[in-house]
Structure formats: C-alpha cells, structure tokens
Amino acid sequence: MSVSIAVIGGGIGGAAATLSLLSHGIDAHLFERGDHFSELGAGLQLSPNATRILHSFGLEEELRTCAVEPTAWHQRRWRTGETLSSVPLSTHMKMRYGYPYYHILRTDLLDALTKAIPQDRVHLGYEMTDMHQERENVEVTFSNGQTFEFDGMIGADGIRSRVRSFLFGDVTPCYSGCIAYRGLIDADRIAKLKLPTETQVWLGPGKHLVTYYVQRHKLLNFVAVIDRPEANDESWVMRGEVDSLRAEFSGWHPMVVDLVHAAQETFCGGIFDHQPMPCWTRGTVTLLGDACHSMVPFMAQGAGQAIEDAAVLGRCVQAATRGTLADCLKSYETIRRPRTQKICNIAAGLKDNLHFADGPDQMSRDQNLGSDTTSWGVGDLDWLYGYNAFSAGPPSALVTSKLTG
Ligand SMILES: Cc1cc2nc3c(=O)[nH]c(=O)nc-3n(C[C@H](O)[C@H](O)[C@H](O)COP(=O)(O)OP(=O)(O)OC[C@H]3O[C@@H](n4cnc5c(N)ncnc54)[C@H](O)[C@@H]3O)c2cc1C
C-alpha cells in the first residue's frame, strides 16, 4: 500500500505537489486554510523548466487557452526607451527547450492545478495549527479541531510557514530593501500604445518596471519594484496609492508615464525572502516552495521552483514505504536544495544591478546587456530553463563526495 501524505498549503506549490504525488500513486491530501483557493490578481512568468512539468500534469490545453507567449524579453532605458537588450522568448524557448515560456494570471494557473485534483483530496478551511511527529508517522491538527494521522507531511505553506516553525523554530523573513507595486490594466485602456507581446523591463535609477500581457492579451500585468530602505508590510492585499505609483515614474519615457496613468488600482507590499536553510527535512516531514526557499523575484522563478520541487518530490517518494519515506524525503531535499539556493543567490545579487543610478556602473551594465543576445544578463540559461525535473539528480559535486566520502 502506498504511503499517505498531507500537503499543507494550497498555493501553487502545494497544489502542484498534491497533483504530482497523486500521479505517482501516493495517497495525498491537500489542506488549505482559506475557504477557497485564492491567489493574488497578478501575473506570473513561467519558464520551460516549469511548463514542462505542467504539461506532464495534462494542463497543456488549459494553459494555452489562458496564457500568453511573449516574443521577447526586452530591457529598455528608463528615460529614452533605448533598447538595452532584446532576448527572443517564444520560438526560441520552444526550439531550444521543447516547452513554452508563458505569462499567466496567477488565478488561472491555480485554477488549472486545483481543478485537476480530485475533490475528495481537497480540504478547504483547514488551517494547520499543530503537529506531532513520531518515528514513522505524523499527527496533524487543524484550527477546526480535527486531527488526522499521516505517514508524512509536506509544508507548502509559504514564506511564513508554520510547518517550518514546528520543524526548525521561527525564522523571520528578511526585507529586501524594495517594495513592489503590482496590478492589472485593461488592455483597452492602453490600446493606443500598441505594446508588443513582450516582457518589457524598464531600468532606471533605484527602480524598474516590468510589464507583460496575460489572459490572451485582455490584461496587462505590471510590477514596479522600487528601492525603499525602510521595511514595508509584505502583504499583497494592501491597496497602494495609484497617485504614488504615478509619482514614482514621473519624468520617465512617455510610454511608461502613459502606462502608470492607465492603472486604476494597485497593490503594494515589501519584498521579502529568508536566509538559506541548511536543512528542509525532519523525519517524514519536509518543506516545499516559499516555505523553504523564498526568493526575491528578479529571476521570476519562485513559483517555477515550487513546481520543480513538486515534480522531484513525486519521483522520490513514488516507491516509498513507511519504513523508507524519511530517506526518500531526504533524497528530494538533496536534489532540490542546492539548485534552489543557487537561484536564490543569483536573484538576490541582481537587485543592485537592475537599479544602478545613471553613471559608470549603469553604463558598463548597459554595455554588457547590449552584447548579450542569448540571456537577460545572467549568462547562459540552459542550466535554468533546460532543467528536467523528471531526471535531474543531485549536483555532481554532491554525488562525487558521497562516492568518495
Ligand atoms: C513581486 C513578485 C513577483 C513574482 N513573480 C514571479 C514570476 O514571475 N514567476 C515565478 O515563478 N514566481 C514569481 N514570484 C514568486 C511566487 O509568487 C512564489 O514563489 C510562489 O507563489 C510561492 O508559492 P507557494 O505555494 O510556495 O507559497 P504561497 O503562494 O504563499 O502559498 C502558501 C499557501 O499556504 C496556505 N497556508 C499558509 N499557512 C497555512 C496553514 N497553517 N494551514 C493551511 N494552509 C496554510 C496559504 O493560505 C497559501 O494558500 C513572484 C513573487 C513576487 C513577490
């Protein structure tokens, strides 16, 4: 008989993990504290390393009908609009990696994932409040007073993970020094700008603006990331002032000014991550997604990495028994922790680069961007977009040290 696993948290990571576990014959159940699945009304970039997995879940058709395939990643200078780099995406991605690069509304992705999970596996209104771990099982208690026993548990409960606190104690998220304004603009309101189907990234002193279409071009998603030394609330449901957003971009290229003036509402919150974790797993409980590797969003990989976690997790536990589950979860961590840590580190290092004041650093960055037609400033991306979660093992250095040590 297969092992039973509780997945705590019905965000993109938890939903993907549940689907992956079920597809490998694991007796998995998903517990979400909300009384419905919900995601922020905002967009998400999904690269081929993640879309490969979503297609394997049978979501190809569903994603195609709601996502947008951007033609390029286009970086531009804040005042003049000059092109700093333009990296081909849609055709290039499919040719090189076999899978598309998508822009998608978060709610559309979460809908697609959760609709694919059988309803008897989904438990809404279940906020995990307590857990007790024995050698080969875990007892999970929810705020509604119910307690269940499982062989194992996955904490996919986000950056403020309660599962993580139970395993390793409280970890305070670190403020990145940036806030983000986010929102969606009706495409009709900006039709006159004739924006191409690209990711446009406008780089300026102390801030940058990313825009792209979602929902078959019906909506334009924007994210404005702005240096702000003092910590800000991380909540994304906090309404921001549209006038403050507009003021941030006064004096920028007329297209940017028009864009932010077309926004009718915005949400604003601080950007947080947390220190690298030396360990994700204790016994038959482990972590997944932002619960163990929250990252600043400059690589657009947080959700993608949670989806990769889900695929590797399914593979690692498919043959698990009660006696081997702890080792299987440790193998999952061994494969996933180095890769996600590498991406967290690169993302953290990108912020200053994106926000240089006009001057020598900015000029040398722009020169580098101009000479780089295959990536968007971080070098070769095959290791990132070409990653196959269905066959990837631990980094070779780890394998070598295990063999020799
Ligand atoms: C500005 C910005 C832009 C981004 N852009 C991108 C992008 O383009 N591409 C990309 O791949 N990533 C992007 N990300 C990152 C991405 O949003 C996250 O990495 C991803 O959503 C994390 O998913 P998750 O499921 O791990 O966590 P969450 O989305 O936080 O989900 C956690 C879930 O757990 C539930 N929960 C919490 N506690 C409990 C409990 N005790 N009991 C039961 N349920 C509980 C919550 O209600 C929630 O549903 C971006 C992030 C930011 C901030």
Nearest to 285 by CA among 398, 138, 385: 138
CA atoms within 13 A on the CB side of 183: 22
Phi, psi of 181 (to 5 degrees): -95, 135
Distance 159 CA to ligand 1 centre (A): 7
Ligand 1 pocket: which of 12, 20, 274, 384 to mutate (most atoms within 8 A of CB)? 12
Q: What is the CATH number of domain 4-172+274-389?
A: 3.50.50.60
Instruction: Please tell me the residue having the least CA distance from ligand 1 atom 14.
Output: 302
CA of 147 to the centre of ligand 1 (A): 25
Q: What is the pLDDT along the chain (405 residues), one digit of tens a residue?
A: 799 999 999 999 999 999 999 999 999 999 999 998 887 778 999 999 999 999 999 999 999 999 999 999 999 999 999 999 998 888 889 999 999 999 999 999 999 999 999 999 999 999 999 999 988 899 999 999 999 999 999 999 999 999 999 999 998 888 999 999 999 999 999 999 999 999 999 999 999 999 999 999 999 999 999 999 887 666 666 788 899 999 999 999 999 999 999 999 999 999 988 888 999 999 999 999 999 999 999 999 999 999 999 999 999 999 999 999 999 999 999 999 999 999 999 999 888 899 999 999 999 999 988 775 555 554 578 999 999 999 988 776 544 443 333
For the entire predicted model, the pTM comes to 0.94
**Ligand 1, from 8, 290, 308, 351: best to mutate by most atoms within 8 Å of Cβ?**
290
Closest atom of ligand 1 to 306 CA is: 26
- CA 303 to chain CA centroid, Å, is 2
CA of 77 relative to ligand 1 center, distance in Å = 30
Residue 90 gets the label, from left (phi > 0), alpha (psi -120 to 50) or beta, of alpha
Instruction: Give the residue from 357, 238, 253, 341 showing the smallest Cα distance to 299.
Output: 341
3-class SS letters over the chain? CCCEEEEECCCHHHHHHHHHHHHCCCEEEEEECCCCCCCCCCEEEECHHHHHHHHHCCCHHHHHHHCECCCEEEEEECCCCCEEEEEECHHHHHHHHCCCCEEEEHHHHHHHHHHCCCHHHEEECCCEEEEEECCCCEEEEECCCCEEEECEEEECCCCCCHHHHHHHCCCCCEEEEEEEEEEEEEHHHHHHHCCCCCEEEEEECCEEEEEEEECCCCEEEEEEEEECCCCCCCCCCCEECHHHHHHHCCCCCHHHHHHHHHCCCEEEEEEEECCCCCCCCECCEEECCHHHHCCCHHHCCHHHHHHHHHHHHHHHHCCCCCCCHHHHHHHHHHHHHHHHHHHHHHHHHHHHHHCCCCCHHHHHHHHHHHCCCCCCCCCCCHHHHCCCCCCCCCCHHHHHHHHHC
Q: Tell which atom from ligand 1 comes closest to the C-alpha of 302.
A: 19
Q: Which residues pair with 239 in a beta bridge?
A: 267
Ligand 1 midpoint to CA 361 (Å): 33
The rounded distance, in Å, linking the Cα atoms of 142 and 20 is: 24
Q: Which two tokens stand for residue 190?
A: 């900006």
> CA 262 to CA 6: how far, in whole Å?
44
Q: Whose CA is nearest to atom 7 of ligand 1?
A: 300
377: Cα separation from own chain's centroid? 20
State which of 130, 143, 157, 210 you would mutate to test the pocket of ligand 1, scoring each by most atoms of that ligand within 8 A of its C-beta.
Answer: 157
* Contact indicator for 217, 197 with CB cutoff of 8 Å: yes
Protein residue with least CA distance to atom 48, ligand 1: 11
Task: Give, using CA atoms, the residue closest to atom 38 of ligand 1.
Answer: 157
Q: Which of 19, 29, 33, 140 to mutate to test the pocket of ligand 1 (most atoms within 8 A of CB)?
A: 33
Instruction: Give me the pLDDT at residue 231, please.
Output: 72
Q: How far is the CA of 40 from the centre of ligand 1 (A)?
A: 9
Q: Whose CA is nearest to atom 6 of ligand 1?
A: 300
The residues that are catalytic are 212
Supply 236's token pair: 């994304």
CA of 38 from ligand 1 middle (Å) equals 10
Pocket of ligand 1 (CB under 6 A): 8-14, 31-34, 44-45, 127-128, 156-158, 162, 180, 223, 271, 289-290, 297, 300-304, 306
Q: If you measure from the C-alpha of residue 367 to the centroid of ligand 1, how many angstroms do you get, rounded to a whole number?
A: 35
**Strand 199-204 relative to strand 72-77, pairing:** parallel
